[in-house]
Amino acid sequence: MKTTDISERKLGSLMMAPTFLLILFTAVIPILYVLFLSTQDIRGIMNRGFVGIRNYTDIIEAGRLQAALGATLYYAFGTIVVQMVVGMIVALALNVKFWGRGFVRALILVPWAIPTSLVAIMWSRFLSATDGYFNAALRLLGLVRSELNWFLDPFLAITMVVMVDSWKFTSITVMIFIAGLQAIPDSVYEAALVDGANRWQQFWHVTLPMMKPVVLVALIMRTIFVFHMFDLIFILTKGGPGDSTRVLSYYIYQESFIFLRHGRGAAAAFILFLITALITVAYIRFLRERK
Amino acid sequence: MGHRALTGWMKVVHRLIILGVVLAVVVPFYWMAVMSVTPQRYVAGRTIPTMVPREPSLVAYAQIFGLAEVPGATGRSAAQMYRRSLLNSIVVAASATFLALVFGTAAAYALARLNFPGKNAAYVLILGSRLLAQITLAVPMFIIFHRMGILDTYLPLIIMNTSFCMAWVTLIMKNYFDMIDSEMEDAARIDGCSRLGAFWRVLLPMATPGLISVMLISFLFAWGEFLYALLFTSTAAARTMPVVLSMFLGQFAIEYRLLAAGLVIGVLPPVLLALMFQRFIISGLTQGGVKG
């Protein structure tokens, strides 16, 4: 039967070729190019040649990298705490049978499906200090009296970025947690019930330990994603006020496309790549240990 | 934990949480809808913009589709730009989804069923490509596309979206193919079917749910992709819908209801797809996520 058939090796290479070549062109070559650019002194359209690691030391000595990392960590920490806690509460609530559960579960997916850029545009309008719906709602509820400008105060600005991010991405943690909850066999709960565990003890001693792997997966996925987030910052805050929301990805954008210091931008970009790679290696290690 | 029915105050708390979730998702859409049908004077500059539609009309939607006159030159060009950007978004998202599906499924089949030189390296490369932030690739790709002279066309956007989605498709579909027993294909091949024939006529039909889910996820990504659309375009010729809407935000001359109508139209396809195909999307996402 194999006489007329194309050989397995040939077919395999052939079918892999387009994907392989495209990845080569849009991922491998560019990242090597970034590494090269990060060693060049490029300002504007002038390239003054090789400078070794000076771009890296420059952004560290000027404190730019630390500021960007600080903002990124703050943003990451905020979104992850909110999305893990709220995600767990909502997932638990949706795991109980009630009338309309199917509908609410479908509804949860909707914010996730909307592009981040459109989410940001929408919320940027709602959060307007002068005529935004969100502020109006706070006023109607009696929570705020005077005009409130979210994007003039560093703390409020990053808080709002975290809030908008969570409005969209809590969907993901909810979905992952529901999948995890459904995988816990009923017999485990029955055993806990026989032992006389109350609901809180059940959650603390049965559900949470069994959900640990799922929680970790959600945690790492969200962390990588948050480190790469650009759209939200660009549309909502442009990195301000001060350095408060200038996360690493936005800082790279500014250096490269606003100040046209491609060398420094590339250095920061390569550092972002290394950070993501580190997180991923930890992730793969963890997955292996699970097996 | 649906093993004991909730009782007393637990039930109250539970219903409040559900109500909170529903309101948190629905209310922003309601505001957007109200904004899109209400004249500017009930919203702009008001500390408390109207929460119910006032003098509602669909004129903003008609304006955006060129069916009604837009007052003012800025408004007119904005509506025109939006119309064009919608077409651009459809072209880019549809092409990228199609290409990602074709390339990714072929690669997934090769990874799942065939032995060929460099297989492991290819797999690691595809996994690794997902580690790169969009912004990391922006400068080199900008330079490359500039040298190729294709900036401000559909091509760079289609290439970048295809590349990103294709990696997703490959990984999810490989998992999917791995879960399907190869018995049926083997049987088909004994009956004289070629390898490709077995893939096309036996495996692919069995993998339809997986294909639908990766197709949806790819389309949703490409529909909303922002950074490359922002950097690799400079005129209305190739700008996509999210970029044009983000430009509306900064221009005060544009009526809020025009912006809101644009947003409603932009979010409609994703919202409908999410509601109609939630099962497919969730299975695709949790598979890609939980199983790495």
B43 and B87 part of one domain: no
Q: What is the mean pLDDT of residues B265-287?
A: 86
Nearest Cα of chain A lies from the Cα of B69 at a distance, in angstroms, of 25
Cβ proximity of A272 and A227 under 8 Å: yes
Residues of B in contact with A89 (CB under 8 A): 17
ipTM: 0.90
Domain tally, chain A: 1
Cβ proximity of B198 and B189 under 8 Å: yes
User: Chain B residue closest to A203 (CA)?
Assistant: B1
List B residues 54-93 in contact with A (Cβ-Cβ < 8 A): none
For the ranges B88-92, B127-131, B142-146, the lowest mean pLDDT is seen at: B127-131
For residue A188, the domain's CATH number is: 1.10.3720.10
The pLDDT value recorded for residue B282 is 81
Angle between helical axes of A262-290 and A64-95 (0-180°, round to 10): 40
The answer to whether residue A206 sits within a structural domain is: yes
pLDDT > 70: percent of chain B: 95
The answer to whether residue A201 sits within a structural domain is: yes
Per residue in A178-208, pLDDT tens? 988 888 888 888 888 888 878 788 888 888 8
Cβ proximity of A23 and B167 under 8 Å: yes
Instruction: Provide the β-strand partners of residue A47.
Output: A42
Per residue in A90-140, pLDDT tens? 999 998 888 888 899 999 999 999 999 999 999 999 998 888 889 888 888
B258 and B183 part of one domain: yes
Residues of A in contact with B49 (CB under 8 A): 131-133, 136
Task: List Cβ<8 Å contacts ≥24 apart for B13-18.
Answer: B14/A93, B14/A96, B14/A98, B15/A98, B17/A89, B17/A90, B17/A93, B18/A93, B18/A94, B18/A98, B18/A104
Q: Looking at the predicted structure, is the pLDDT value of residue B138 above 90?
A: yes
Q: Which of A23, B205, A272, B246 is nearest to A264 (CA)?
A: A272
pLDDT > 90: percent of chain A: 45
Per residue in A79-93, pLDDT tens? 999 999 999 999 999
The answer to whether residue A123 sits within a structural domain is: yes
More confident residue, B288 or A39: A39
Q: Looking at the predicted structure, is the pLDDT value of residue B262 above 90?
A: yes
Residues 6+ apart with CB under 8 A from B177: B108, B109, B112, B113, B203, B207
CA separation, residue A115 to residues A165, B225, B268 (Å)? 11, 7, 11
Per residue in B29-67, pLDDT tens? 999 999 999 988 888 878 788 888 888 888 889 888 888
B223 and B154 part of one domain: yes
The pLDDT value recorded for residue A4 is 47
Cβ proximity of A150 and A130 under 8 Å: no
User: Chain B residue closest to A287 (CA)?
Assistant: B292
The pLDDT value recorded for residue A209 is 85
Residues 6+ apart with CB under 8 A from B271: A110, A113, A114, B29
Q: Of the candidates B140, B159, B266, which has its C-beta nearest A118's C-beta?
A: B266
The answer to whether residue A10 sits within a structural domain is: no
Q: Of the candidates B17, B143, B270, which has its C-beta nearest A115's C-beta?
A: B270
Per residue in B196-241, pLDDT tens? 888 888 888 888 989 999 999 999 999 999 999 999 999 989 999 9
The pLDDT value recorded for residue B184 is 84
The answer to whether residue A205 sits within a structural domain is: yes
pLDDT band of B291, cuts 50, 70, 90: very low
**Cα separation, B11 vs B28, whole angstroms:** 27
> What is the Cβ-side half-sphere exposure of residue B156, based on CA atoms within 13 angstroms?
30
For tokens 């001060």, the residue is A242
Domain that includes residue B10, residue range: 1-57
The answer to whether residue A173 sits within a structural domain is: yes
Domain that includes residue A210, residue range: 84-243
Residues of B in contact with A113 (CB under 8 A): 220, 270-271, 273-274, 281
B135 and B196 part of one domain: yes
Q: Looking at the predicted structure, is the pLDDT value of residue A27 above 80?
A: yes
B137 and B235 part of one domain: yes
For the ranges A36-40, A145-149, B169-173, the lowest mean pLDDT is seen at: A145-149
Q: Which of A212, A222, A208, A217 is nearest to A82 (CA)?
A: A222
- How far is the first Cα of chain A from the last one, in angstroms, to the nearest whole number? 39
**Cα separation, B57 vs B70, whole angstroms:** 14
> Does A26 sit within 8 Å of B43, measured CB to CB?
no
**Cα separation, A43 vs A261, whole angstroms:** 5
**Cα separation, A256 vs A274, whole angstroms:** 18
User: Chain A residue closest to B136 (CA)?
Assistant: A269
Residues of B in contact with A226 (CB under 8 A): none
pLDDT band of B253, cuts 50, 70, 90: low
Three-class SS of residue B282?
helix
Residues 6+ apart with CB under 8 A from A146: none
Average pLDDT in chain A: 88
Q: Which of B57, B74, B105 is the last residue of a domain?
A: B57
> Does A176 sit within 8 Å of B48, measured CB to CB?
no
B12 and B121 part of one domain: no
Residues of B in contact with A26 (CB under 8 A): 129, 137, 141, 159-160, 163
Judged by a CB distance cut-off of 8 A, whether residue B196 touches chain A is yes
B53 and B74 part of one domain: no
Instruction: Provide the β-strand partners of residue A46.
Output: A43
B192 and B268 part of one domain: yes
Q: Looking at the predicted structure, is the pLDDT value of residue A291 above 70?
A: no
User: Chain B residue closest to A247 (CA)?
Assistant: B135
For the ranges A226-230, A251-255, B16-20, B75-79, the lowest mean pLDDT is seen at: B75-79
More confident residue, B276 or B287: B276
The pLDDT value recorded for residue B280 is 84
User: Chain B residue closest to A125 (CA)?
Assistant: B249
The pLDDT value recorded for residue B1 is 46
The answer to whether residue A258 sits within a structural domain is: no
Residues of B in contact with A262 (CB under 8 A): 139
For residue B256, the domain's CATH number is: 1.10.3720.10
**Cα separation, A67 vs A154, whole angstroms:** 13
Q: Of the candidates A106, A136, A230, which has its C-beta nearest B275's C-beta?
A: A106
Q: Which of B38, B57, B76 is the last residue of a domain?
A: B57
Phi-psi region of B13 (alpha: psi -120 to 50; beta: other; left: phi over 0): alpha
Residues of B in contact with A10 (CB under 8 A): 116
Domain tally, chain B: 2
